[in-house]
């Protein structure tokens, strides 16, 4: 059987265009053109535009799970914290467009329905990993500490991605580490 050369190209092109111009502003024709294939082929692999979106999210979620696994390599608290923060801020810097796209999905009612399943799963998993980290560090209330930690991280991501100019990302990174390295 001939290899499915097109399918992957379509996924890549769609992700790139969705992230750049938004879901609603990207037509299936553009995606096909971007992938160097016909529209028909696109519909041969994906039932609908929404199905294509879901496929993208599931693919990206898998990649992020892999990154999250790196964190859970058992070691002492301070190292885990450092690894986690380094990974998080690195990802933040390298994936601004994709992260914006993902956030846009969560706040558009029609798209939220499609993607909330996989995204929820990913978020809960990340949170529970963080709880474990703080529990091993001997936090008095690891659950709450994890919630606040993740809130602050995601808040930083939000500010960095949205309205604030010249966001001091590196400064926030070092500050966070200093703040959390010795648990109160």
Partner DNA sequence: TCAATATGACTGATCAGTCGGTCAATTAAT
Partner DNA sequence: ATTAATTGACCGACTGATCAGTCATATTGA
Residues near DNA (CB under 7 A) are 1-2, 4-7, 25-29, 36-41, 43-44, 48-50
Q: Which stretch binds a second copy (CB under 8 A): 27-35, 65-73, 78-86, 120-128?
A: 120-128
Q: Report whether 118 contacts 57 (CB < 8 A).
A: yes
Per-residue tokens: 27: 């037509």
Out of 108, 114, 132, 135, which residue is the one contacting a second copy (CB under 8 A)? Answer: 108
Cα separation, 70 vs 63, in Å, equals 12
Long-range contacts of 124-132 (CB under 8 A, 24+ apart): 125/65, 125/68, 126/68, 126/150, 129/68, 129/71, 129/72, 130/84, 132/72
Minimum CB distance to a second copy, residue 133 (Å): 18
Span from 2-10, 46-54, 83-91, 111-119 in contact with a second copy (CB under 8 A): 111-119
Contact 110, 32 (CB under 8 A): no
Neighbours of 101 (CB within 10 A): 22
Of 36-44, 56-64, 80-88, 146-154, the window that binds a second copy (rule: CB under 8 A) is: 146-154
CB of 32 to DNA, least distance (A): 7
Q: Which residues bind a second copy (CB under 8 A)?
A: 20-22, 24-25, 100-101, 103-104, 106-111, 116, 119-120, 123-124, 127, 144, 147-148, 150-156, 158-159, 161-165, 168, 171-172, 175
């Amino acid at each position: 059987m001939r290899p499915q050369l097109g399918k992957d190209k379509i996924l890549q092109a769609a992700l790139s265009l969705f992230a750049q111009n938004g879901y609603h502003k990207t037509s299936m024709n553009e995606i096909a053109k971007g992938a160097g294939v016909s529209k028909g082929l696109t519909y041969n692999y994906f039932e609908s535009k929404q199905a294509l979106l879901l496929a993208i999210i599931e693919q990206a979620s898998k990649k992020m799970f892999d990154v999250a696994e790196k964190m859970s390599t058992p070691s002492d608290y301070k190292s885990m914290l450092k690894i986690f923060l380094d990974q998080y801020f690195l990802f933040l810097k390298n994936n601004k467009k994709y992260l914006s796209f993902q956030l846009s999905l969560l706040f558009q009612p029609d798209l939220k329905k499609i993607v909330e399943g996989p995204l929820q799963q990913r978020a809960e998993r990340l949170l529970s990993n963080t709880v474990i980290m703080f529990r091993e560090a001997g936090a008095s209330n690891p659950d709450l500490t994890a919630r606040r930690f993740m809130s602050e991280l995601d808040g930083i991501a939000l500010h960095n991605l949205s309205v604030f100019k010249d966001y001091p990302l590196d400064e926030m990174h070092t500050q966070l580490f200093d703040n959390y390295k010795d648990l109160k």
